[in-house]
Amino acid sequence: MWKLWSFNKRRQIARIEIEGAIDGRTRSRVLKAIQRVEEEQFSALLLRIDSPGGTVVDSHEIYQALKHLQEKDIPILASFGNISASGGVYIAMGASHIMSNPGTITGSVGVILRGNNLERLLDKVGISFKVIKSGPYKDILSFDRELTPSEQQILQSLIDTTYNQFVATIAEARKLSLATVHAFADGRIFTGEQALELGMVDRLGTEADARQWAAELVDLDPDEAKFVELGKPKKFGLLGRLIPGQQLWQRLRFELTTSGIPLWLYWP
Other CB atoms within a 10 A radius of the CB of residue 135 amount to: 7
Does 2 score more than 70 pLDDT?
no
Does 268 score more than 50 pLDDT?
no
How many domains does the structure of the chain reveal? Answer: 1
pLDDT score of 123? 81
**Residue bearing the bigger pLDDT, 37 or 127:** 37
Q: pLDDT exceeding 90 applies to what percent of the chain?
A: 67
Q: What is the mean pLDDT of residues 162-185?
A: 97
157 catalytic residue (yes or no): no
CATH of the domain at 254: 3.90.226.10
Instruction: Give the three-class secondary structure for 6.
Output: helix
**Residue bearing the bigger pLDDT, 250 or 90:** 90
Alpha helices, H only, 40-127? 56-71, 87-92, 119-125
214 contact partners, CB below 8 Å, separation of at least 6: 13, 44, 46, 75, 77, 225
- DSSP-derived secondary structure letter, 146: P
Q: What is the mean pLDDT of residues 96-117?
A: 92
Catalytic residue, from 32, 133, 138, 232: name it.
138
Does 255 score more than 70 pLDDT?
no
pLDDT score of 243? 46
- What confidence tier does 60 reach under pLDDT thresholds 50, 70, 90? very high
- What confidence tier does 242 reach under pLDDT thresholds 50, 70, 90? very low
120-161 per-position pLDDT tens digit? 887 888 888 888 889 888 888 888 888 899 999 999 999 999
Lowest mean pLDDT among 5-9, 54-58, 95-99, 179-183: 5-9
11-21 per-position pLDDT tens digit? 899 999 999 99
75 contact partners, CB below 8 Å, separation of at least 6: 43, 44, 45, 96, 97, 214, 217, 218
**Residue bearing the bigger pLDDT, 39 or 4:** 39
Residues spanned by the domain of 102: 2-265
Catalytic residue, from 51, 86, 96, 100: name it.
86
CB 91, CB 79: distance < 8 Å:
no
Does 5 score more than 50 pLDDT?
no
Does 119 score more than 90 pLDDT?
no
86 catalytic residue (yes or no): yes
